[in-house]
């Protein structure tokens, strides 16, 4: 099964993606995670990506399209299918993805679109914490780690600071609509109510994916 998960920053894409991967065994391809890994390893691409990410801007399309194309061509994708998270983020990326999938003979099965009220996103992003060891995402209030936890085991993303979040939301709101419309025209979009508890969102996501599986 080959899926996209879309939604504004903080909509819950990564949170749902990890549940989808556990339940359905698809490969999770998150461009944000790929850039953060490259930044941590201080590769040339990581340094370039950092200069955009720190300002809340998008990394240029040529770079982003290149890493996705390479990843989709790897062997496990044909076997397991994929869930693309955080890509495409511009209409040009959507066109590039169409081309890449058609070159590889892969068809997209669906686009999971998590809809949230943008006014809740600052709170979601400013409370987001990530477990250093596993990379798992939590929220200080909405999804805290179980039991007494040591704050030092978790970090906050640099680009989750309020100044950067505002720019990220503006950029993503401006770019998002044409992309969703592109996939709506193909009849691939499934809208999910994202303003509900994490597990309730996942129940709705599971219904959609199960209907695609049959
Ligand atoms: P995205 O990948 O779309 O940027 P995340 O999955 O990282 O978003 O979620 C952003 C923050 O909001 C995280 O701290 C996460 O724990 C929290 N979160 C995710 N889904 C929900 C939800 N349905 N209700 C409340 N908080 C949520
Ligand atoms: P995310 O983890 O999806 O919130 O992404 C974090 C940051 O990485 C974004 O704010 C962008 O700067 C960059 N990024 C992630 N995915 C893309 C993409 N598809 N196109 C351009 N930049 C991206």
pLDDT at residue number 139: 97
pLDDT given for residue 213 in this prediction: 77
| Residue tagged active-site, from 19, 80, 157, 161 | 157
The question of whether 184 is a catalytic residue gets the answer no
Active site residue 132: no
Q: What angle do CA 81, 200, 164 make, to 5 degrees?
A: 75
What average pLDDT is seen over the chain? 96
Share of the chain above pLDDT 90, in %: 96
pLDDT in tens, 108-133: 999 999 999 999 999 999 999 999 99
pLDDT at 214 over 90: no
Ligand-binding annotation for 156, yes or no, is no
Whether the Cβ atoms of residue 65 and residue 29 lie closer than 8 Å to each other: no
pLDDT for 32-73, tens place per residue?
999 999 999 999 999 999 999 999 999 999 999 999 999 999
Query: 99 CA to middle of ligand 1, Å?
Result: 31
DSSP 31-45: HHHHHHHHHHTT-HH
Residue 31 has pLDDT above 70, yes or no: yes
State the CATH architecture for 2-116+175-213: 3-Layer(aba) Sandwich (3.40)
The percentage of residues in the chain with a pLDDT greater than 70, rounded to a whole number, is: 100
Tell me how many degrees the CA angle 179-185-187 measures, rounded to the nearest 5: 105
57 is in an annotated binding site: yes
User: Quick check: 175 and 58 in contact, CB under 8 A?
Assistant: yes
Rounded Cα distance between 48 and 35, Å, is 10
Domain extents for the chain? 2-116+175-213
Q: What is the pTM of this model?
A: 0.96
CA gap 55, 197 in Å, rounded: 30
């Amino acid at each position: 099964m080959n899926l996209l998960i879309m939604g504004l920053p903080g909509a819950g894409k990564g949170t749902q993606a990890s549940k989808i991967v556990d339940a359905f065994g698809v490969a999770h391809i998150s461009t944000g995670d790929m850039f953060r890994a490259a930044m941590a390893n201080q590769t040339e691409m990581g340094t370039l990506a950092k200069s955009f990410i720190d300002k809340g801007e998008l990394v240029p399309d040529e770079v982003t399209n290149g890493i996705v194309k390479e990843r989709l061509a790897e062997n496990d994708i044909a076997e397991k299918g994929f869930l693309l998270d955080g890509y495409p983020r511009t209409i040009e990326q959507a066109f590039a993805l169409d081309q890449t999938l058609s070159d590889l003979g892969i068809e997209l099965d669906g686009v999971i679109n998590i809809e949230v009220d943008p006014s809740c996103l600052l709170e979601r992003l400013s409370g987001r914490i990530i477990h250093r060891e596993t990379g798992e995402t939590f929220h200080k209030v909405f999804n805290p780690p179980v039991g007494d936890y040591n704050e030092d085991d978790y970090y906050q993303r640099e680009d989750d600071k309020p100044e950067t979040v505002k720019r990220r939301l503006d950029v993503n709101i401006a770019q998002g609509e044409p992309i969703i419309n592109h996939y709506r025209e193909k009849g691939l979009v499934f809208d999910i109510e994202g303003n509900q508890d994490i597990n309730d969102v996942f129940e709705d996501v599971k219904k959609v994916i199960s209907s695609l599986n049959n």
